[in-house]
Amino acid sequence: MGLNSKKANWWLYGVLTVALVAVVAPFAWMVLGSFKTEGELRSSPPTWWPQTATLDNYTQLFSRLSFGDYFTNSVVVAVAVTAGNLLFCSMLGYAFAMLEFRGKRALFLVVMTTLMIPGVVTFVPLFVLVANAGLVDTLPGLFLPFLVSPFGVFLMRQFVLGLPKDLVDAARVDGTGEIGIFARIILPLCGPALATLGILTFLGSWNNFLWPLVVAQTEKTYTLPVALALYSTGQNSTNYGLLLAGATVVVLPVLLVFLVFQRRFIEGIATTGIK
Amino acid sequence: MTTTTAPPAPAGETSVPDGAPRKRAAARAEGRAAWILALPFCLLFLTFTAWPVLQSLFMSFTDTRARDLRTPFAVDLVGFENYAKAFGDPTFRQAVANTAYFVLVGVPLTLTVALAAAVALDRGIHRLRSVFRLGFYTPVITSIVAVAVVWRFLLETDYGLINTVLGWVGIAGPNWLGDPNWSMPALIMLATWRNFGTGMIIFLAGLQSVPWQLHEAAAIDGASAWQRFRHVTVPMLRPTILFVSVTTGIGYLQFFEEPFVMTSGGPLNSTISMSMYTYNQFGFGNYGYAASLSYLIFVLVAIVTALQFRFLREKD
C-alpha cells in the first residue's frame, strides 16, 4: 500500500459506497414501496419516497389475507426447530467431544457424511412418511423433520472440544452423575456456541421454503415464505404494494434481530467456515 | 471404538487393587450416559434423514405415484427406467443445462465479488469497515422468496429501478425476466447479490491468517499490489477458497426459490432448474420419477464437491 495509500483510499471508499448503496437499496425500496399506492408503484420514472403514504397494503395483508396467522406459524415452527437443535445437538456434541463409547467413530462418520445431503434428495420419501403419519398440513409435520441437524452436532462438538476435560473428571470425583455433568457443568459453559447455533437455526427455519411448500397445503399451515411465494405467483401476482408489504413482514423481523446480534452472526459464520 | 476411559494407565498398573473393576464400571456408566445423550438425535436422524435417503434410492427404481402413498412397497420395480427417462426428457436436459449455467457463471462471480470485497475491507480501508461489512452481509440473512419478490419488481422493464438506473447512463435495459437470453443472467445477478456476503466474511477471517511479513517481503522485492495478491494472498487462501466454492456450489446446484418466484421456470423453460423440475414432477404425483431426479442432483453434488477438492488441492 505504501505512500500512495491516501489517494487509493478515496477511490476505494467511492467504489465501496456505490456497492453498499446497490446492496442496501433493494431493502429501502421494498420498505418504502410497501407504503405506496398501486398507481404510484407503476409510475415511470419510479418514485423513491411515497407521495401519498398509505397503510392500505398492511391492512389488507392482515385482514383480507391472514398474514398474522402465517407469522404465528413461522414463529412456532422456528422456535420448535431451534429448541430441538439446541438441546439434542448439544447432547450428542458433548458425547462426541468428551465421552468414550462403543460405536462413537462410526456414528461420527455417519453424521459427517450426511452434512452435505441436500433437502431435495429426501423430500419425496419424507413426504410419504409424513403423509402416512397423518401429519401433512400440520405444524408438527413442518418442524419434526428438522429438530436435529448434523451441522449443529458438529458445531457443538467443536466448541466442547475446546473446554478443559478436567472439568468432567473433577465433577466425577465429586460424585456428579454423567448426565448431571452435561446438564449442570458443561451446558452452562456453552453459551456462545448455543447462541450461534440458535441464531443460525432460527434463521434457517424462518427462511426455509421447499419443505413447508410441500407439507403446508392449506392456508392454516402456511409459513410466511410459502404464503408470499404462492401469492406472488397466484392471483395476487400483480398486486405490487401488497407483495412488497408481505416481503417486508418476512424480512424486517430478521433484519432487526440481525442488527442487534450482528457480531454473533458474523463470528458464527467465520468460525464454522474456518474449522 | 472401544470403551476405555482413563487414558494414561492401563488397568493392571494401578496401585489400588480394586481399581480395575471400578474403572470398568465407570467406563460402562460413561458409555451408557453417552448413548442416552445420543438417543434423541439418533432416533430423529434415523427417521427423518437416514431412512428417507435409503427410501429415496429405492423409490427411484420404482414406478411409485401419488396414489401409492399408503403402500410404498407394493409398487413395481422398473430398474433404471426412471433414470433412462430422465436422460431422454428434453425438459430435464434443459434443466440440467440451466443449472450448469447458473453454477458455472454464478459460483466464480460470487467468489470474485466476495474476495474483492474482503480484500478491500481487510487492507484497503481503516474507517467504517464494520459498516461496510454489515451492509454487504445483510442480504444473506433474508428470505430468498422475499428478495426474489422484490427483485421481480426491480427488474421490471418499464418502471423497474434497475432499468431506470441503466437509463441514466444511456443504456436501454432489456426485458430481464421476459427475454430467454436475459432471464438467467438476472437470476445470477440476484444470487450473487444475496450470497457474496457469506464468502466475504469467511475470506475476511482467512485473510487474518496471511502473515503480513510475506507481503512486506514481497513488496521489498518490488512486487506490485496485484502480484502480491496473486502470489501471496491467493495461495495462502487456497483452503478457504476451496471451502467457499464447495459450499456455494452445493447451494447453487439446488437453486429453486429464484425461478419459482420470479419466472416460474420461464420464459421458454430458460430458467427451470433441476430442483424445480423435480418439485414439479413431485407435484404431478410422479414420486418414483421425482426420486430418481433428486438422486441425480445428489450425485452431481457429490461429483462437484470431489472435483473441486481435486482441482484446488493439486496446485499445492
Residue of B nearest to A107 (CA): B42
For residue A180, give the chain B residue with the closest CA.
B33
Residue B289 confidence class, pLDDT cut points 50, 70, 90: very high
From CA B307, how far away is CA B273, in angstroms rounded? Answer: 21
Q: Identify the closest residue of chain A to B67 by CA–CA distance.
A: A128
A155 touching chain B per CB within 8 A: no
| Mean pLDDT (whole number) for A82-93 | 96
Q: What are the residues whose beta carbons fall under 8 Å from the beta carbon of B261, sequence distance 6 or more?
A: A229, A232, A233, B144, B145, B148, B149, B152
Provide the chain A residues 42-61 that lie in CB contact (below 8 A) with chain B. Answer: 42-46
Which residues in chain A touch residue B252, judged by CB atoms under 8 angstroms apart? none
Distance of residue A244 Cα from the nearest chain B Cα, in angstroms: 7
- In B, which residues are within 8 Å of A105 by CB distance? 1
Distance from CA of B291 to the nearest CA of A (A): 6
Closest residue to A148, CB basis, from B41, B256, B261: B41
Closest by Cα among A183, A194, A193, A185 to A162: A193
Q: What interhelical angle do B180-207 and A5-33 show, nearest 10?
A: 130
Query: Do B47 and A89 make contact, defined as CB atoms within 8 angstroms?
Result: no
Contact across the interface for A105 and B1, Cβ inside 8 Å: yes
What local confidence, expressed as pLDDT, does residue B1 receive? 38
**A121 to B294: CB separation less than 8 angstroms, yes or no:** yes
Say yes or no for a CB contact (<8 Å) between B159 and A43: yes
Which residues of chain B from 130 to 169 reach within 8 Å of chain A, CB to CB?
Answer: 131-139, 141-147, 149-154, 158-161, 164
Q: Average of pLDDT values for A153-167?
A: 91
For residue A269, the chain B residues in CB contact (below 8 A) are: 198, 201-202
* R_g of chain A, CA atoms, integer Å: 24
Report the residue of chain B nearest A251, measured CA to CA. B142
Higher-confidence residue of B53 and B315: namely B53
Residue A122 touches partner B, C-beta closer than 8 Å: yes
Hey, is the C-beta of B112 within 8 angstroms of any chain A C-beta? no
Please check whether residue B309 is in contact with residue B242, taking contact to mean a CB–CB distance below 8 angstroms.
Answer: yes
In chain A, positions 230-249, which contact chain B (CB-CB < 8 Å)?
A: 232-233, 240, 243-244, 246-247
Question: Residue A263 carries which side chain, given as an amino acid letter?
Answer: R
Distance, in Å, from the CA atom of B88 to the CA atom of B96, rounded to the nearest integer, reads 12
Name, of A41-55, A182-196, A257-271, the range with top average pLDDT: A182-196
Residues B158-204: pLDDT tens digits? Answer: 888 899 889 999 898 899 999 999 999 999 999 999 999 999 999 99
Chain A residues touching residue B206 (CB < 8 angstroms): 274
Name the β-bridge partners of B77: B62
Asked if A113 and A241 touch (Cβ cutoff 8 Å), the reply is: no
Task: Give yes or no for A168 touching B (CB within 8 A).
Answer: no
Check residue B26 and give its pLDDT: 82
pLDDT of residue A7: 57
Angle at B167 between CA B163 and CA B172, to 5 degrees: 75
Confidence at residue A200, expressed as pLDDT on a 0 to 100 scale? 87
In DSSP notation, B22-62 reads HHHHHHHHHHHHHHHHHHHHHHHHIIIIIHHHHHHHHHTTB
pLDDT tens across B102-155, in order? 999 999 999 999 999 999 998 878 788 888 998 999 999 999 999 999 999 999
Inter-chain touch A232–B123, beta carbons under 8 Å? no
Categorize the per-residue pLDDT at A255 as very low, low, confident or very high, splitting at 50, 70 and 90. Answer: confident
Q: What is the CATH architecture assignment of B84-314?
A: Orthogonal Bundle (1.10)
CA separation for the pair A237, A231 (Å, rounded) = 6
Indicate if the pLDDT at residue A153 is higher than 80.
yes
pLDDT digits (tens, 9 = 90+) for A2-55: 444 555 688 889 999 999 999 999 999 999 999 999 888 888 778 888 888 899
Q: Which of A91, A101, A201 to mutate to test the interface with B (most CBs of B within 10 A)?
A: A101
Locate the domains of chain B by residue range.
11-49, 84-314
Q: Looking at residue B109, what is its pLDDT?
A: 98
What pLDDT is attached to residue A215? 95
What pLDDT shows up at residue B5? 42
Answer yes or no: do A224 and B72 touch at CB < 8 A: no
Q: Is the CB of B30 less than 8 angstroms away from the CB of A246?
A: no
- Here the cell at position B104 is 458455472
Note the pLDDT tens digit of each residue in B20-43: 777 788 888 889 999 999 999 999
Residue B128: Cβ-neighbour burial (10 angstroms; 0-12, 13-18, 19+): middle
What is residue B313's predicted lDDT score, i.e. its pLDDT?
Answer: 64
* Residues of chain A positioned with their CB less than 8 A from the CB of B236: none
Task: Kindly tell me if the per-residue pLDDT of B9 is higher than 90.
Answer: no
Closest chain B CA to residue A243: B149
Tell me which chain B residue has its CA closest to the CA of residue A233.
B261
pLDDT, residue B212, reads: 82
Considering only CA atoms, give the Rg of chain B.
26
Using the beta-carbon criterion (under 8 Å), do B143 and A225 form an inter-chain contact? yes
pLDDT tens for each residue of A62-81: 998 999 999 999 999 999 99
For residue B6, pLDDT beyond 60: no
ipTM: 0.89
Residue A247 has pLDDT above 90, yes or no: yes
**Contacts with A178 from chain B: Cβ below 8 Å:** 29-30, 32-34
Residues of A with CB below 8 A from B42's CB?
92, 107
Distance (Å) from the C-alpha of residue A218 to the closest C-alpha of chain B?
A: 15
pLDDT tens digits for range B206-263: 888 888 888 888 888 888 888 888 888 888 888 888 888 888 998 999 999 999 999 9
Measure CB to CB from residue A46 to each of B37, B50, B159 and give the nearest one.
B159
Confidence of residue A213 (pLDDT cuts 50, 70, 90): very high
